[in-house]
């Protein structure tokens, strides 16, 4: 994985793109990056490497600026306290984000959400996900609901092969554990039809790439003219 990251950095540098990095130097693990296309580098207002598990970047856009938070959630063999500490740190980053920003939070959450959970979490999750839930899934739903976020990539009616984001080494288990969260306010801006996983990424990982297209739609407000006085 280290050689892949090194090659990514080299290729990005040669082609004029920019890589923002946060992680450990002593170990080749718990590293997260943003790769910004060279044409969009001018839009970067700032990048904040929070820890080896959190990094945020703010982009200049109209009419609202965009803040993207990339996370690296503790895997399933970590203690519950470690997971709670991670969510506490993530909450602090969210609280420091300007309220008017268009917010995107994405990660491998190691959370499984049942397909029928949408009945109890209306507006937070859709019905196109897993057949079973786990404790991490419930925790993610609570976190999203408290922050008025929605899990965008489980609202679209895609094929099962386009919904699974993780595959077990033996190929017997396929789960949806990677989610992209956006504000409910901008729900109509996320193209649900394009929010899905794309298999075949040659990066030596058991995860699939997850992509979402986003186009902001604002409601046109009609200005009321002065009432005519008879």
Tell me how far apart the alpha carbons of residues 215 and 222 are, in angstroms, rounded to a whole number: 22
Q: Which residue has the higher pLDDT, 9 or 114?
A: 114
Distance CA(129)–CA(149), nearest Å, equals 17
Residue 81 has pLDDT above 80, yes or no: yes
The string of pLDDT tens digits covering residues 159-171 is 777 778 887 777 7
Rounded Cα distance between 153 and 213, Å, is: 11
Of the chain, the end-to-end C-alpha distance in Å amounts to 77
- In percent, how much of the chain has pLDDT > 70? 80
Which has the minimum average pLDDT: 149-158, 168-177, 178-187?
A: 168-177
Radius of gyration for the alpha carbons in the chain, expressed in angstroms and rounded: 19
Which residues, in sequence order, are bridge partners of residue 170?
A: none
Cα–Cα distances in Å, from 155 out to 1, 69, 123, 163, 175? 32, 21, 10, 10, 16
All structural domains of the chain with their residue ranges:
2-214
Residue 207 has pLDDT above 90, yes or no: no
Give the closest residue to 75 by CA, choosing from 54, 106, 55, 53: 53
- Long-range pairs for 91-98 at CB < 8 Å and ≥24 separation? 91/143, 91/147, 93/48, 93/50, 93/54, 93/56, 93/69, 94/69, 94/147, 97/56, 97/67, 97/69, 98/65, 98/67
The Cα 153–Cα 151 span in angstroms is 6
Write down the pTM of the prediction: 0.82
Superfamily of domain 2-214: Endonuclease/exonuclease/phosphatase (3.60.10.10)
pLDDT of residue 32: 82
Distance of CA 100 to the CA centre of its chain: 18
DSSP annotation of 136 reads H
pLDDT digits (tens, 9 = 90+) for 115-160: 888 888 988 888 888 888 888 999 999 999 999 999 988 888 877 7
Starting at the edge strand that comes first in sequence, how are the strands of the sheet with 178-183 ordered?
Answer: 44-49, 54-59, 66-72, 102-108, 178-183, 149-151
Judge whether residue 90 has pLDDT over 80: yes
**Which of 3-7, 11-15, 214-218 has the lowest average pLDDT?**
3-7
pLDDT digits (tens, 9 = 90+) for 40-75: 889 999 999 998 889 999 999 888 899 999 998 887
> Is residue 82 classed as helix, strand or coil in its secondary structure?
helix
Q: Under a CB-based contact definition with an 8 Å cutoff, are residues 56 and 48 in contact? A: yes
pLDDT at 3 > cutoff 60:
no
């Amino acid at each position: 994985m280290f050689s892949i990251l090194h090659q990514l950095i080299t290729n990005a540098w040669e082609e004029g793109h920019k890589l923002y990095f946060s992680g450990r130097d002593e170990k080749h693990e718990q590293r997260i990056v943003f790769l910004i296309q060279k044409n969009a580098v001018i839009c970067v207002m700032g990048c904040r490497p929070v820890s080896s598990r959190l990094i945020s970047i703010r982009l200049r856009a109209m009419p609202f600026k965009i803040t993207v938070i990339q996370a690296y959630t503790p895997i399933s063999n970590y203690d519950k306290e470690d997971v709670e500490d991670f969510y506490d740190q993530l909450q602090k980053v969210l609280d420091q984000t300007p309220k008017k920003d268009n917010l995107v939070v994405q990660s491998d959450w190691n959370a499984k959400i049942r397909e029928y959970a949408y009945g109890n979490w209306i507006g937070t999750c859709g019905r196109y996900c897993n057949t079973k839930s786990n404790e991490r899934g419930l925790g993610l739903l609570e976190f999203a609901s408290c922050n008025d976020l929605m899990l965008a990539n489980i609202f679209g009616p895609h094929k099962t092969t386009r919904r699974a984001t993780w595959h077990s080494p033996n190929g017997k288990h396929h789960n949806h554990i990677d989610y992209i969260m956006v504000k409910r306010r901008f729900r109509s801006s996320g193209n649900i039809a394009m929010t899905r996983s794309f298999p075949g990424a040659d990066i030596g990982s058991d995860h699939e790439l997850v992509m979402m297209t986003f186009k902001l739609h604002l409601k046109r407000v009609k200005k009321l003219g002065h009432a005519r006085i008879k």
